[in-house]
Amino acid sequence: AQTVTQSQPEMSVQEAETVTLSCTYDTSESNYYLFWYKQPPSRQMILVIRQEAYKQQNATENRFSVNFQKAAKSFSLKISDSQLGDTAMYFCAFMKSYGGSQGNLIFGKGTKLSVKP
């Protein structure tokens, strides 16, 4: 069974600074996807970034980038130039890329990020 661990329940960062959120996972699969979702106080779940395990290049989306270390089973999210609107819960998630359970996201328990002015 796959598990996803986010070891930082809460973090804070000053506006305009950089912060890194940690995520580790455990799987015996070789083909899978990893995601970061953001949940602001509005409760909406918003996809931040996606990484395919077969790609060595780390994914980036504007101020958001990941450090994907497949051998270490680590998938951290870096937020550059933090903005007040980045305040949210951030969830790391794992998904197998084939088979009957394709599309079943396994979530970590989340990291609550507060961006301070």
Binding site for other proteins (CB under 8 A): 33, 35, 42-45, 47, 50, 91, 97-98, 100, 102-105, 107-110
Nearest distance in Å: CB 69, other proteins: 21
Secondary structure of 2-44 in the HEC alphabet? CEEECCCCEEEEECCCCEEECCEEECCCCCEEEEEEEECCCCC
Q: Least distance in Å: CB of 67 to other proteins? A: 20
Nearer to other proteins, 30 or 71 (CB): 30
